[in-house]
Amino acid sequence: MNEHKFRDYIYWGVTAVLVIVTCIATALIFIRWKTVCLALKNLNRILAPIIYGAILAYLLAPVYNRVYRWTDRLLTPYLKRGRKKHGAARGMATLVCIAFLGALVFGVVKLSQPLIESIMGIVNSIPANAAKVSLWIETLFADAPNIEPVVLSIYNQGVEKLVSWVQTTTDILPNIEKVITGIFNSIMGIVNLVKNVLIGIIVMVYLLNMKETLAAQGKKIIYSLFSLPVANEVVEKWRFIHGVFGGFIIGKIWDSVIIGILTFVWLSVLKMPYTVLISVIVGVTNVIPFFGPFIGAVPSAILVLLVDPKKCLWFLLSILAIQQLDGNIIGPKILGNSTGLSSFWVLFSILLFGGLMGPVGMIIGVPIFAVLYRLTAEWVNRQLKKRELSTVTDDYGDLKHIDEEKKTFVR
């Protein structure tokens, strides 16, 4: 009996010490917040190759798994021994992933040439296109002499700011020292990025081939730390998180690729200017939920407006039709209901995480909030069940109070 009490005292004593240490550590983190941020930044710089490799491995895991299963089935009649067959399947899956990544890089490099040409063409044609649009505005508001000066004044101010920004960006001759320093820093940054990416590819290969082992080791640690019911719940929640992130992010990337290709084909049919550049802008920004179509459509519409104001209307109608096709047919087919969030919570998560983390937060904010939403909902339902109350949301709609003795809903 005394031994049991002694163990309880030890348990509560250790718990109290851990709580105090946690509180002190939390306070020190807030007091030394700048130092903590600097340390995290340095850690991120050191672990950049690992992070790149982990991201590449996560994105290419579906390709790896599919090729592995296909090769494993194909080699079954020829290789009976499991180790040789699985080794060959892993090698083939790894080669396909590397080839896929190489093809993607090659495509980006090939695509960058017309993109650069389009951007240089835009910069060089700003004065001529601005004058063309100015004449179009004068013609459009010829019958409204009171409105024409106001519209032209706003337009000319916008053009002046645009030209000033372009000149500031491209005029690098006055300060040679800053130019040389900037070029050197850019070259070193590029070299460091290439180094991290190359090491990241090696890390990606290792992670793809040992992801089952890592998953097994992780489960082993979880089951060693927690009781069986808690460990089962942790594993189940991890599978849910993986399903949400994998289904949403990878699905959104494929959805954006399809939208970019559709935009390119349709704009080529309409003979729109800067077809390649606009298609890339629309496809890349489409990765961002909700706001992506608007973020991509506005600058693209301005580019078309500078060249041909009449085509700008057709462009906007085309983008609207493509986005409706994506929102009602393509997107739901690829993504399904991978997040389980309503439109309001999607908007809320984008604004919240976009404000906290920038563009990256706008992309990953939806799956993060979906996980938090699901975990919160499960915790609430579990607490209600302990109190023997209903877990159906509609039951609380017109509720006045719950009878404390009978636990009946009073409406």
| Closest-CA residue to 288 (of 347, 345, 330) | 347
- Calculate mean pLDDT across residues 403-409: 71
User: 3-class SS at 383?
Assistant: helix
- Calculate mean pLDDT across residues 272-287: 85
Q: What are phi and psi of 94, to 5 degrees?
A: -65, -45
Does residue 163 sit in the same domain as residue 221? yes
**In sequence order, what are the beta bridge partners of 409?**
402
Identify whether 83 is part of a domain: yes
What is the per-residue pLDDT for 179? Answer: 47
Does residue 256 sit in the same domain as residue 326? yes
In terms of average pLDDT, the best of 116-120, 157-161, 231-235 is: 231-235
Does residue 19 sit in the same domain as residue 93? no
Identify whether 173 is part of a domain: yes
What is the per-residue pLDDT for 162? Answer: 60
For the stretch 34-87, pLDDT in tens is 887 888 788 888 888 898 899 889 888 888 999 998 988 887 777 666 677 788
Band of pLDDT at residue 160, cut at 50, 70 and 90: low
Question: Which domain does 346 fall in, by range?
Answer: 339-411
What is the per-residue pLDDT for 39? Answer: 82
Does residue 192 sit in the same domain as residue 298? no
What is the per-residue pLDDT for 382? Answer: 86
The per-residue pLDDT of the chain, averaged, comes to 78
CA–CA separation, 338 vs 295, rounded Å?
A: 23
For the stretch 323-372, pLDDT in tens is 888 877 877 777 666 677 777 888 888 888 888 877 778 888 888 888 88
10: pLDDT strictly greater than 60: yes
Identify whether 256 is part of a domain: yes
Identify whether 178 is part of a domain: yes
Identify whether 292 is part of a domain: yes
Burial 2-38 (b: 16+ CB within 10 A, else e): eeeeeeeeeeeeeeeeeeeeeeeeeeeeeeeeeeeee
Does residue 108 sit in the same domain as residue 217? yes
Band of pLDDT at residue 384, cut at 50, 70 and 90: confident
Identify whether 23 is part of a domain: yes
Does residue 215 sit in the same domain as residue 239? no
Q: Please, where are the H alpha helices in 76-175? A: 82-124, 126-140, 148-170
Band of pLDDT at residue 172, cut at 50, 70 and 90: very low
409: pLDDT strictly greater than 90: no
- Residue 219: CB partners within 8 Å, gap ≥ 6? 235
Of 210 and 411, the structure prediction assigns the larger pLDDT to: 210
Band of pLDDT at residue 173, cut at 50, 70 and 90: very low
CA–CA separation, 285 vs 308, rounded Å?
A: 23
Does residue 232 sit in the same domain as residue 134? no
Band of pLDDT at residue 96, cut at 50, 70 and 90: very high
Identify whether 42 is part of a domain: no
Does residue 62 sit in the same domain as residue 89? yes
Does residue 293 sit in the same domain as residue 393? no
Residue with tokens 């002694």: 6
Q: What percent of the chain has pLDDT over 70?
A: 76
In this structure, the dihedral spanned by the alpha carbons of residues 342, 346, 351 and 353, taken in order and rounded to 10 degrees, is: 130
Does residue 344 sit in the same domain as residue 332? no
In single-letter form, the type of residue at position 222 comes to: I
Q: Which of 277, 305, 338 is the last residue of a domain?
A: 338
CA–CA separation, 408 vs 389, rounded Å?
A: 9
Q: Which of 311, 338, 365 is the last residue of a domain?
A: 338
12-21, 130-139, 314-323, 374-383, range with the lowest pLDDT: 130-139
User: 3-class SS at 158?
Assistant: helix
The total number of structural domains in the chain stands at 4
What is the per-residue pLDDT for 380? Answer: 87
Q: Which of 165, 198, 225 is the last residue of a domain?
A: 225
- Calculate mean pLDDT across residues 146-175: 60
Does residue 288 sit in the same domain as residue 192? no
What is the per-residue pLDDT for 119? Answer: 67
What is the per-residue pLDDT for 142? Answer: 63
- Calculate mean pLDDT across residues 125-149: 65
Does residue 240 sit in the same domain as residue 327? yes
Of 395 and 223, the structure prediction assigns the larger pLDDT to: 223
Residue with tokens 């240490």: 21
What is the per-residue pLDDT for 118? Answer: 67
Band of pLDDT at residue 390, cut at 50, 70 and 90: confident
For the stretch 14-43, pLDDT in tens is 777 788 888 888 888 788 878 878 887 888
287: pLDDT strictly greater than 80: yes
Band of pLDDT at residue 176, cut at 50, 70 and 90: very low
